[in-house]
Amino acid sequence: MRLSEEDVTLFYKLYPALLVYVNAEQGILSQISTTDELMSQPVEEKVRVRDQLYENIALIDSFANDNPFGFTSEELEIVRSWKHFIRDRFYLFRHLKKYSIFLSSGSPPKAYGVLSISDRLKDLFPYVPVLVETVLLPFKGQIVYDGYVGAFRISFGGGIRVLFPIEIKTKEMNGARIWTASIGPCPAHNAALHLTEKSWRGLTSSS
């Protein structure tokens, strides 16, 4: 359920560098000029920079054109592929041997087979299903999340799985596998959704 060690290293070479560029262009955090400086910031500060990336996605092309870190053409193509990001709330529904299944909360729903990066999603969220908010990214023919995931404090009864029968139909997301899903309605609940500070998990290569 994880990327290979080589791909983990590559992801953490590319993604923080992109965020450093976004920070410089948008003037979010002062006195941050290297990936080490950025990654040493509190999670909340890194999330601020990350959010600006997805709100100004044209910065990806600017980054690739400027290439301030001297990346190879293959590495820049990976970064460019992130323009096809999916930012949403998902039901982290099940952990399988090869990936974790994320179900989109929209309609029609879709199912995504998502790989972990450095820390296994199964270890971070052992009890599923759970409602989360994150960003999915294509990565070398696979799907990963961007390293930051917020969990909502909602409890689901065991019967929820009966309401989520998945009919798999393979499709593609920029070369990565996704599935359309035939899914029943979400059970009604009266709980308000509160994304608390402690629910944010910012994952780095050293975590």
User: pTM of the prediction?
Assistant: 0.76
Q: What is the mean pLDDT of the chain?
A: 78
At 69, list the tokens.
Answer: 């870190």
At 138, list the tokens.
Answer: 């294509």
The band of 187, judged by pLDDT with boundaries at 50, 70 and 90, is very low
Residue 142 contacts residue 3 (beta carbons within 8 Å): yes
CB atoms within 10 A of CB 110: 20
- What's residue 150's pLDDT? 84
Contacts of 73 (CB under 8 A, 6+ apart): none
